[in-house]
Structure formats: structure tokens, C-alpha cells
Amino acid sequence: MPLILQRLLHPHLAAGAPPRANSLSPAAAAAAVSAPRPLHPAWVVVFISSWLATACNVPLWREVAQLPGQGSLRGWGFAIAFALIVAAGNAALLSLLAWRWTLKPAAALLVVMAAFGAYFMLAYGVAIDASMLTNVLQTDVHEAGDLLNWRMLGTVLALAVPPLWWLLRRPVQRLSPLRQVAHNGLLLAGSVVVIVVCLLLVFQDFASTMRNHTKLRYLINPLNSVYALGNIATKPLRMDTRTLIPVGRDAQLGASYSGQAKPPLLVLVVGETGRSGNFGINGYARNTTPLLSARTDLVSARNAWSCGTSTAASVPCMFSHLGRTGYEARSANFESLIDVLHHAGLAVLWVDNQSGCKGVCDRVGETITSQQKDVAPNPALCPGGECLDRVMLQDLDARIAALPAEQRQRGTVVVLHQMGSHGPAYYKRSAPDNKKFGPECTSTSLQECDRQQVVNAYDNSIVETDFFLDSVLKWLSAQDSKAQTAMVYAADHGESLGENNLYLHGLPYSIAPDVQKHVPWITWLSPAMQDRTHVATGCLQQDLAERRITHDNYFHSVLGLMEVKTGAYNPGLDMFAACRQAPGIAGVAG
């Protein structure tokens, strides 16, 4: 019997000490003969790296196949070199983990990560970066449940089970510590050599492709996920996450609060997954907003753009004073618009029908509808435990009344964070009486449905948002006797509905299509609020019809509307400033 096999069967024996002749029974000896021969760790690395580079990178190779010039001899040469680079990259990563107790677990983890990554990239056309993984990590149970389906299970099993079964069944040769270090070093060096040689052979094509087709770098699986996780894990090294820098501690209320007859009441509706182009009020062929479109006192900014392509990126950014560029480059976390409003002495309430305020309201607190015992069991508002947005208006008066009276007497800002049109289960986002378009896609595997069915389900969710916003306006009108009211609705990001085989959202901002960034933004000012702020609706309707605004304007526009004076306020970013008349000038239109 080979000595190495005897050592595997008898690990308690000292290296080089042969077992006694009668130490194995006939059955054990037969089993030993049929047992697979232990593989050198390097071969395990090569096999797993090859599997990851081929089977688990179908989304990448599908994109590569669509590049100009593919199918030619030069195109094939580029594809083969690219595949070797990907395989060598995986091998280089595994060479750092190819130790006795870590090789199999690390390989198994990479296989599982790659299997899930491949499914989502195949199914929805998404790319994986730090922002996408952050969004995944912050997804709540209901949102995660919407993504589960049989297609995902089948894809993950098909990609993960074969290599995992092979890893489980195949013994790995044990090397002494010094030999292991040497072999791992040689494996790493060999991987780097392969990468360098392949790059030199196709450098011109590779550089051009990576520059002109940026999305490809986010499809290299699972290195994309590993890089993203590393980016998230090392964030505390690049940014001071423990310190919260104050903003607007000098905030004071303006002259309009002196001797006011009625305090202001502003509702900020933070929309979810809103495509500007699918809102009837913005000229969409379908009248998805019949209630809003029938009004003449609304301002719809048709050229509004988001700060990010996911909730985790956009919501903190739009409530920040830094703007998109400054927010992405920040070296520490700052207080938000909610904090500044609170510093000014206003009453602030955050009601959430989604996965939380993403840290924006942490110092003020939030009410999450799914955690309200008196709301969640309501079968009409919360079918299946997921609540329609209209549930946020239930008991809203009581929640406001519970805020400190002294602050309410100055003014109140209420934030309503929608579930909106969150996918892929768009069909769950509208009540039966708001399903105007059919048939709907009722699968979370959107690629299984005809694209028109996907659009139908999404458009019905906009009809629901139309109903919800109209309900908010009616509720605000009912407060006229005790408050001067206004509403600002802005979605956090848009959505892809199958254009170019892309679904959902979350692509890196630089490569995301416009439908993931072009968002609806609707403002309503009551006549009393127009008088108070000297901002005329008619002027806004003309000024914002085509003027480009972004989430960079949000922080400053809200402060301007509520007349909060602070050094953090930038009047150049206040979208209402152009229509703000001097006190005493007549002509409030709308």
C-alpha cells in the first residue's frame, strides 16, 4: 500500500513511520485501494479557478461575445487571453488561501459566491460593486424574499454543486509548512506571470475594451464580489466611520416664524424606484397618474436626476449637504438634513414603509410600519405582511400629536418613505383597485415574463403611488385650518425594466442607464404656503418644466422652503430660489 495512502488512513502515525502489517483489516485495505488519490493543493486551485472562470462567468462571456470584432481570429484570441486572465486572477486569490485548513472552505465560499453572483447577473443584468453589495446587506427579509424563486435555486445548484461535491470527495495532499509556503508562493508567482503575459499579448484590445466597456470589470465573477467586500471592509481605514461631524448646529428659524398665525407643515415623500418617464404627469403615453394629472396646482420637474442608483446610496446622499460628488468623496460621516431641521427647533417625524432610513434619521428615530403591531395584521393594507404605502397615513395625526408640543408650534416636517415600485415583485405594490394595466408579471424571475407584462406590473405600482400622493394631498388639505402645508415628492432612483436585458437597479452610476437615474420630482404648495414663502406655483411650473435639477438640490431646497437659516445652506442649490419674490410683491400664482 502506498505510504501516502497509509498516512491519510492513519493520520495519528508519525510521518515516515509505517503501520504494522496487521494494522488494516481486509475491508479497510480494500477501501484504501479504491480511495481517490490525494491531489496536490495546486491542482485544487487550478480546477476551482477554471470552474469559476468558465461556468460561473457566463454573464461576462455573454457580454464579451457581443463586443465588436468577436468571431474573428483576433476576437477569439482576445477572449481566450481574457479567460486566462480571469482564471489566473482567481488562482492568485486562492494561492493566498491554499493552506491546510483554509483551502477547501475558501474554495467552497468562492464557488457559492460566484453561483449567486452569476444568477443575479444573468437574471437581471446587474453588475456587482460595493454599492450593490451594500444594498444587498441592507435588504430586509421581505425584500430578500421577493428575490427567491425556483430559477435561482436551480442556477445556484447547477453552478455550485458539482465543484462542491468534487471538493468534498477529493482528499488534498498535506504538505509541510515550509513546502506549503514555497508552493503557494510559486502558485502566486505563476498566476501573476500568466496575467502579465496575456495582458502583453492583447494589451491594446484589452485597454480599449476596459475603457469603452466599463461594465465588464464589474462582471468578473467572483473577483467583483471579493473586491466589493474588501472595499466595504476597509472603508473604516479610508473614512472615519466612528465620528459624526455636526452640520447646521447654527440653524435658526427665519422671519416668517415671528408671530405666525399657523405653523408650516411639510410632508417629504421619499419615493422608491420611480422612473420619471413612466409618470403620466410627465408625458408618459399611459395615464399612470390620473389623480395627479387632473390637478393644476402641482409642479413636476421633468428633468430631475438621482444621487445614486440604489436606496442605500441615494437616500443618505439626497439628505446630505455635500452633493453626489462630495458625498462619494467624504472622509467622514456628517449629520443630515433631518438633524439640521431638528437643530432649528422643528418637529420631525420619519415614517418608513421600507427597509429603514439608512442612517439619515438615527438621531431622531423612525416609525417602521412593518413593526407596528396594530398595522401589520391588517389584511387590506398589509396583504401577506407587506404593507401598501397608504398604511403610512393610518394614525399619522396621532403620531404627529405625540411630538413635542413646543416644536410642533414652530413647524413640523414629516418624512414618508415609500415601498413604492420596489422590484422585482412589482405586482405586490398595487392594490386590486389600482391594477389598471394587464396582464401583470407575477413572477420574481422577470426574464420569464413577456416584457410588456413586466411594464404592466410596474405601471400599476405607479398608479398606486398616484393614489398615495393624492391621499397625502387630501390629508394635507384637511390640515389647512391649523397649518400652512406643502408636499415634496422625489424618488430615490429609477429602474430598468428589461431594456438591453437589464432589470432592477444598482448599476455603478457611471455606467447605469438613464432610466436608473432619471426620477420623478413633484411639489405642491398650498396657497397659504405660497404666501408664506413668497414662492409662486405658476413660476415654478415654468421654471422647473425643463430645468435640470438633481438630488444635490434637495437639502438646500427643503431648508429654503422651511426658511431655516444656517451656514450649511447654499442658496445657489435652492430650486425654489429663482421664484422666490421679495416680501410685499403681489402675484402669487397657481
Consecutive H or E run containing 362: none
pLDDT tens readout for residues 530-555 = 999 999 999 999 999 999 999 999 99
Predicted pLDDT of residue 581:
81
Predicted pLDDT of residue 259:
87
Span 110-118, mean pLDDT?
A: 97
Predicted pLDDT of residue 33:
56
Question: How many Å separate Cα 479 from the centre of its chain?
Answer: 36
Q: Which three three-digit cell numbers place residue 17?
A: 513511520
Select the more confidently predicted residue: 132 or 28. Answer: 132
CA–CA dist 458, 464 (Å, integer): 10
Question: What ranges make up the beta strands (E) of 233-284?
Answer: 240-245, 252-253, 264-271
* Structure confidence at residue 9 as a pLDDT band (50, 70, 90): very low
Lowest mean pLDDT among 296-310, 364-378, 430-444, 480-494: 364-378
Predicted pLDDT of residue 84:
97
Q: At which residue does the C-alpha cell 502515525 appear?
A: 13
Say yes or no to pLDDT of 116 above 60.
yes
Say yes or no to pLDDT of 26 above 60.
yes
Predicted pLDDT of residue 112:
97
Predicted pLDDT of residue 381:
83
pLDDT tens readout for residues 184-232 = 999 999 999 999 999 999 999 999 999 999 999 999 999 999 999 999 9
pLDDT tens readout for residues 400-419 = 999 999 999 999 999 999 99
Q: Report H helices in 361-450.
A: 396-401, 405-410
Span 38-55, mean pLDDT?
A: 96
The CA-CA-CA angle for residues 264, 268, 270, to 5°, reads 175
pLDDT tens readout for residues 262-310 = 999 999 999 999 999 999 999 999 999 999 999 999 999 999 999 999 9
Question: How many Å separate Cα 290 from the centre of its chain?
Answer: 30
CA–CA dist 81, 415 (Å, integer): 52
- How far CA 586 is from CA of 529, 544, 590, in Å, comes to 14, 21, 13
Predicted pLDDT of residue 17:
44
Q: Are 209 and 67 in contact (CB under 8 A)?
A: yes
Q: How many helices (H) and strands (E) does the chain have?
A: 23, 16
Long-range contacts of 259-263 (CB under 8 A, 24+ apart): 260/532, 262/482, 262/483, 262/484, 262/528, 263/408, 263/409, 263/410, 263/411, 263/412, 263/483, 263/484
Looking at the chain, the whole-number percentage of residues with pLDDT higher than 90 is 79
Predicted pLDDT of residue 148:
83
- How far CA 169 is from CA of 104, 111, 160, 255, 500, in Å, comes to 11, 16, 14, 77, 42
pLDDT tens readout for residues 51-98 = 999 999 999 999 999 998 888 999 999 999 999 999 999 999 999 999
pLDDT tens readout for residues 142-179 = 777 888 889 999 999 999 999 999 999 999 999 999 99
Instruction: Give me the torsion for CA of 435, 440, 445, 447, rounded to 10°.
Output: -130
Question: What ranges make up the beta strands (E) of 342-477?
Answer: 347-352, 367-368, 412-417
Is 144 exposed, middle or buried (CB count within 10 Å of its CB: 0-12, 13-18, 19+)? exposed
Sequence-separated (6 or more) residues with CB below 8 Å from residue 406: 345
Select the more confidently predicted residue: 132 or 402. Answer: 402
Give the number of other CB atoms < 10 A from CB of residue 475: 16
Predicted pLDDT of residue 182:
96
Say yes or no to pLDDT of 3 above 60.
no
Say what angle helices 203-212 and 73-95 make with each other, to 10 degrees. 80
Instruction: Please report, in angstroms and rounded to a whole number, the separation of the first and last CA atoms in the chain.
Output: 94
Q: Specify the DSSP class assigned to residue 386.
A: P
Mean pLDDT, all residues of the chain: 91
pLDDT tens readout for residues 469-517 = 999 999 999 999 999 999 999 999 999 999 999 999 999 999 999 999 9
Predicted pLDDT of residue 35:
65
Using DSSP, state whether 520 is helix, strand or coil.
Answer: coil
Q: Which three three-digit cell numbers place residue 7?
A: 498516512
Structural domains present in the chain: 1-31 (no CATH), 36-236 (no CATH), 244-579 (3.40.720.10)
Question: What is the pTM (predicted TM-score) of this model?
Answer: 0.88
Give the number of other CB atoms < 10 A from CB of residue 304: 26
Q: Are 486 and 264 in contact (CB under 8 A)?
A: yes
Q: Report H helices in 497-549.
A: 527-533, 537-543
